[in-house]
Amino acid sequence: MAQNLKGRSLLTLGDFTASDVRLMLDTAREYKRLKYAGIPHRIHEGKNIALLFEKASTRTRCAFTVAANDLGIAPEYLGKDDIQLGKKETVEDTAKVLGRMFDGIEFRGFAHETVEELARHAGVPVWNGLTDKFHPTQILADFLTIEEHVGRLKGTKLIFVGDGRNNMANSLMIGSALMGVDFRILAPRELFPEQALIDRAHELARESRARITITDNFEEALQGADVIYTDVWVSMGEEDKFAERIHQLRHFQVNRNMLNLTGNPEVKFMHCLPAFHDTLTVTGKHVQDEFGLDAMEVSDEVFRSPHSIVFDQAENRMHTIKAVIALTL
């Protein structure tokens, strides 16, 4: 497969061209075909990658691990208790050490500046598995899933509902602007994205002919939607904000009424997971007891409905991450 991204780091999709992203998506689709057909594709046999996790993860860790194994690569997991970036050793020194031992490095953590610092000094590809600002590998999985279910990406009406300042809203906005999507954020005004990112999205949209809309008007945002996307109301590290976020977002829950406002009986529902759609988790039960809600960002009815494509989306994390690793090593 094409290797013209060899040596590149993936920190944000805004660092790439639309043709680069198209290559990643097409490569992922081919690897998914090979996986389903049982055809081996161990093209990087004998290589090693480090998986650095300041933040806990299910999908990202599993996707990188399985993708690496399928490509013939040995992954080494380093959790927050195994490596202390910036505490006992600088990020720069850590990057230089790991770059001598590994062929690539994944980082999932808090500050986006950390993954940027790793990429500056490692001398090998660095992949952003999530920071407080961006989550690019998730967006690749989302775009592949949209193409599979909607049939196209360019011109798709994609609506993000919820906290418009979080890493998912940021990443979807930049990726959509790059790829010509009709992207809308539906959020309270106090949770709109930062202006610098909106300006960057409009800059990218001029070339792709994407449309970027930021609004608190439900009808404006939802009319004709192909996909409604949401995320948790409280991000990792913001657990003290539950009461504030519920107050701001309780009317922004994705439920049957919201789907009806789209006027599209085939509208799809997406979520990067985990989702608080019932009271069967410790957090879900706490929210019910404390705030009287039996679900947060999405109702259980919508989450379990035929509109929901969240598990296809989760699976595609692995196929798209595999493409990124394969193309950049």
For residue 140, give Cα distances in angstroms to 10, 168, 239, 321: 11, 12, 27, 8
135 classed as catalytic? yes
248 classed as catalytic? no
CB-based contact 176:183 (threshold 8 Å): yes
> Which residue among the candidates 142, 231, 248, 307 is catalytic per the annotation?
231
Name the nearest CA neighbour of 187 among 153, 160, 148, 147.
160
> Which residue among the candidates 112, 184, 245, 317 is catalytic per the annotation?
317
> Which residue among the candidates 70, 272, 277, 307 is catalytic per the annotation?
272
> Which residue among the candidates 135, 184, 245, 319 is catalytic per the annotation?
135
56: tokens are 């806990």
Three-state SS letters, 57-76: CCHHHHHHHHHHHHCCCEEE
3-state secondary structure of 308: strand
Helices assigned H by DSSP within the chain: 18-37, 59-70, 91-101, 112-122, 136-150, 167-179, 195-208, 218-222, 242-249, 256-261, 282-291, 300-303, 310-328
304 classed as catalytic? no
> Which residue among the candidates 8, 44, 132, 138 is catalytic per the annotation?
138
Name the nearest CA neighbour of 272 among 150, 169, 192.
169
CB-based contact 123:46 (threshold 8 Å): no
> Which residue among the candidates 108, 245, 271, 277 is catalytic per the annotation?
108
How many whole angstroms from its chain centre is CA 34? 24
189 classed as catalytic? no
CA-CA distance, 46 to 50, in Å (whole number)? 14
Find the farthest-apart pair of alpha carbons in the chain and give their distance in angstroms, rounded. Answer: 55
3-state secondary structure of 267: coil
How many whole angstroms from its chain centre is CA 327? 19
Strand ranges across the sheet with 48-53: 74-79, 48-53, 104-108, 126-130
User: Catalytic amino acids?
Assistant: 108, 135, 138, 231, 272, 317
